[in-house]
Amino acid sequence: MVQSYQSPVRVYKYPFELVMEAYVRRFPRCDMIPIMAGTDIIKETTSTDGAINVISRRCKLHVEAPYLLKKIMGVEFIYFVQTNTLDRRNRTLTIEAHNESFSSRVVINEKCRYSVHPENSDWTCFEQTATLDVKSFFGFESTVEKIAMKQYSQNISKGKEIIEHFIKELEEEGVTWVPRWQEIQSPNSQQPRLTVTGTDTELVKDGIEKENCCLEKYNAFVSLGTENNKVEAEYIKRCLGDLTPLQESRLIQLKKWVAELQKGKVPSDTCLLRFLRARDFNIEKAREMLSHSLIWRKKNQLDKTMSQYQPPQVLQDYFPGGWHHQDKEGRPLYLLRLGQMDVKGLVKSVGEEGLLKHTLHICEEGLHLTEEATAAQGRPITTWTLLVDLEGLNMRHLWRPGIRTLLKIIEIVEANYPETMSCVLIIRAPRVFPILWTLVSTFIDDNTRSKFLFYGGNDYQGPGGLVDYMPKENIPDFLGGECKTVVQEGGLVPKSLYQPGEEIDAGRHHLPLSDQSIYRSVSLARGQVHEVIISIEEPGAVICWDFDVMKNDVCFSVLRTRVPLSPRPDPPQSPSGAMGMIDAVMHSDDQHRSCIDKTWREGHDYFRVEPQLICHDGESIQGSHVTSHQGTYLLQWRYYESTQHTSPLDIIDSITAPKAKIMYYYETLNSADYRGSMTSLQSCQSGFSSLSSNTNKSATSSCPSR
């Protein structure tokens, strides 16, 4: 595999001619480059006008390799041929080099270029590219590749240091300015060097003024890069952080690839760097990950969606999270009081889609805040800190649909916002948290998972706690600090804010999380029943259910039939008019008629595997049943009536009586999944309710421990 390297644009704040004067001092040997054993000039030519000078050198380099590899190679030195083309008229120096030694086994090509800064003629730019192709090397191809890239990286990092060293050496000798090449001059004349003596200080002063005048242009150049998507080295250090030469190279290669592929807006360098870090600077893996993310953003029109996003009022009132000052390193800090979050209520109010959009909005805000922090502090701030307070976390947070929603959101965020968090501080973690962490952690990237720090009880208050990560004056009051916060306290979402299942689904056009709805809703008039037919192929499978009674009261039962059943076709249209309405109420339609035949006997033709449960308006029920037989099971909801209506007037009254309404969710886990699923186990053994104080009693009776 061919390894490639491309440097960022390195800027020397010195004129091109002075940099060239410093550059030639590297030959024939430079003590600052220990690997270089010496150079010999092979050929030198100069154009008739003296503008272009071409020098070819053979460079002898020490072999820095393990002893065994040296013995196999049988040499102490390797040779490179370097050709330098100096164009004084256009003020450029082009350097091309390739290896002579082992050229049939290893191919190394390097190209460097010094040129005048596009915005400041008194500054010089430097950039280089190189490729390495190890075709064969006695079975040590991988080792040779690693050694060569490591050595090359080390030499690159010394490049700027060497030029700066020789420029300083020139200054000590009194040489601070070298005149530019002139078109008309005597063939034998030599260009004089200007020194800082007497009135020459005015020349230096003019140079300083030039530098100051171009500073604004330079900053713009640094921010935008030069032509061909180049990146300036000082910009990297100031805005992106300290990168190794190879990391810089990977960034530039990815930037170039995106610019060639992407029409229009190109992701920022910070964004590209995040994807590279997420894939350990493997350019191919980072490119694949970024490509999928760009397609996802474009497909879902994410930029437009986020620019127009306004959190629904229910999230503004009940989502217990928000931005809160900065941590000790100046990174934005986000507080999430997860233990106070009514996950079920939020999902039923805004749906999976609503929670996902809100999460993505937080991620986008985080990126914007890191950019602001970088500009304000003059150093790279590329991540933000998340502090999660788990006080109040209990079994209701292990609600299966909520867990599923959380895992899908994590999957999307991990794929599209990698390496955005510096650390995640988990505080006041209760005993139930390890269950949740076991479920969630497997969906979190290894790099991200290593950033989690856990504190149980009040451990966060002492040394090694929050004071190590955030200023004492920024610790929120609900954590024992003095800082007031605007983060909502969360709490239970009123059921009046719940949306019907079909309305929740209506908003899932742009960023779908799953192919089917979590909830279904159904209305039941007097005398009507709604049943879900479940076919169990293997005993030991688990049926899980969760439903809310939105209006009136219902009876809930779990039944098993001796005779296998299958869903009936859609019923025919009922007659219109008043008689049709009366007929529908008296006889019901197939959608609201029980599958249990009137001639069947309980205990013989069908069996009640869970006690009948009367569920009242406003209650939330969760439970599960471990099946003991193969066959057909029914989840049954009936309109609950405290008295029987036998009068014809009662039948007429039932037409206008308010209907009962439920929102329900169910799923079936096979026996193998049940044995290995912690969520199923908790669902079966618990009797918890998410929202109603009355539900604990009801849910317990529907879900006894087994």
Mean pLDDT computed over 626-637 = 93
Mean pLDDT computed over 97-117 = 91
Q: What is the pLDDT of residues 598-610, one digit of tens each?
A: 899 999 999 999 9
The CA radius of gyration of the chain, in Å to the nearest whole number, is 36
* pLDDT on residue 380: 92
Lowest mean pLDDT among 176-190, 296-310, 349-363: 176-190
* pLDDT on residue 55: 96
Q: How confident is the model at residue 692 (pLDDT cuts 50, 70, 90)?
A: very low
State residue 389 phi and psi, 5-degree precision.
Answer: -95, 120
* pLDDT on residue 287: 92
The answer to whether the 225-299 and 305-496 domains have the same CATH topology is: no
Mean pLDDT computed over 552-581 = 69
Pick the CATH number of 519-702 from 2.60.120.680, 2.102.10.10, 2.160.10.10, 3.90.1150.10: 2.60.120.680
Alpha-carbon gap, residue 94 to 25, rounded angstroms: 17
* pLDDT on residue 228: 45
* pLDDT on residue 109: 93
Q: How confident is the model at residue 341 (pLDDT cuts 50, 70, 90)?
A: very high
CA 118-123-129 angle, to 5 degrees, is 70
State residue 312 phi and psi, 5-degree precision.
Answer: -55, 155
Residue with tokens 């260009």: 191
* pLDDT on residue 495: 86
* pLDDT on residue 36: 84
More confident residue, 201 or 166: 166
Mean pLDDT computed over 544-564 = 89
* pLDDT on residue 581: 41
Q: What percentage of the chain reaches a pLDDT higher than 70?
A: 76
Pick the CATH number of 225-299 from 3.30.1130.10, 3.40.50.300, 1.10.8.20, 3.20.20.70: 1.10.8.20
The pTM assigned to this predicted structure is: 0.66
Mean pLDDT computed over 480-497 = 89
- Decide: helix, strand or coil at residue 281: coil
Q: Is the pLDDT of residue 674 over 90?
A: no
Q: How confident is the model at residue 578 (pLDDT cuts 50, 70, 90)?
A: very low
* pLDDT on residue 68: 57
Pick the CATH number of 3-185+193-198 from 1.20.58.710, 3.40.50.1460, 3.30.530.20, 2.40.50.100: 3.30.530.20
Q: How confident is the model at residue 151 (pLDDT cuts 50, 70, 90)?
A: low
Q: What percentage of the chain reaches a pLDDT higher than 90?
A: 39
CA 85-90-95 angle, to 5 degrees, is 25
Q: Is the pLDDT of residue 379 over 60?
A: yes
Q: Is the pLDDT of residue 663 over 90?
A: no
Strand order from edge to edge, sheet including 332-336: 321-326, 332-336, 384-389, 421-429, 452-456
* pLDDT on residue 20: 96
Q: What is the DSSP code (8-state) at residue 105?
A: T
Domain boundaries, the chain: 3-185+193-198, 225-299, 305-496, 519-702
Q: Is the pLDDT of residue 183 over 70?
A: yes
Q: What is the pLDDT of residues 187-205, one digit of tens each?
A: 555 544 444 433 333 433 3
Q: What is the pLDDT of residues 513-540, one digit of tens each?
A: 433 445 688 889 888 999 999 999 888 8
Alpha-carbon gap, residue 639 to 621, rounded angstroms: 16
- Strand 52-62 and strand 620-626: the pairing is unpaired
Q: What is the pLDDT of residues 320-334, one digit of tens each?
A: 999 999 999 999 999
Give the distance between the most distant pair of CA atoms in the chain. Answer: 126
- Decide: helix, strand or coil at residue 455: strand
**How buried is residue 265: exposed, middle or buried, by Cβ count under 10 Å (0-12/13-18/19+)?**
exposed
Lowest mean pLDDT among 142-146, 216-220, 443-447: 216-220
Alpha-carbon gap, residue 331 to 382, rounded angstroms: 8
Q: Which residue(s) pair with 57 in the sheet?
A: 41, 82
Q: How confident is the model at residue 7 (pLDDT cuts 50, 70, 90)?
A: confident
Lowest mean pLDDT among 360-369, 404-413, 687-696: 687-696
Alpha-carbon gap, residue 267 to 251, rounded angstroms: 12
Q: Is the pLDDT of residue 279 over 50?
A: yes
Q: How confident is the model at residue 111 (pLDDT cuts 50, 70, 90)?
A: very high
Q: What is the DSSP code (8-state) at residue 568?
A: P
* pLDDT on residue 182: 87
In this structure, whether the domain defined by 305-496 belongs to CATH 3.30.420.40 is answered with: no
More confident residue, 146 or 595: 595
* pLDDT on residue 72: 64
Q: How confident is the model at residue 664 (pLDDT cuts 50, 70, 90)?
A: confident
Mean pLDDT computed over 386-404 = 84
Alpha-carbon gap, residue 394 to 389, rounded angstroms: 13
Residue with tokens 């437009």: 304
* pLDDT on residue 18: 95
Residue with tokens 């390193």: 329
Alpha-carbon gap, residue 521 to 662, rounded angstroms: 6
Q: Is the pLDDT of residue 131 over 50?
A: yes
Mean pLDDT computed over 675-683 = 37
Mean pLDDT of all residues belonging to the chain? 79
* pLDDT on residue 509: 41
Mean pLDDT computed over 350-359 = 92
Q: Is the pLDDT of residue 223 over 60?
A: no
Q: Is the pLDDT of residue 79 over 90?
A: yes
More confident residue, 704 or 511: 511
| Whether the Cβ atoms of residue 525 and residue 544 lie closer than 8 Å to each other | no
Alpha-carbon gap, residue 460 to 456, rounded angstroms: 8
Mean pLDDT computed over 295-322 = 92
Alpha-carbon gap, residue 96 to 78, rounded angstroms: 17
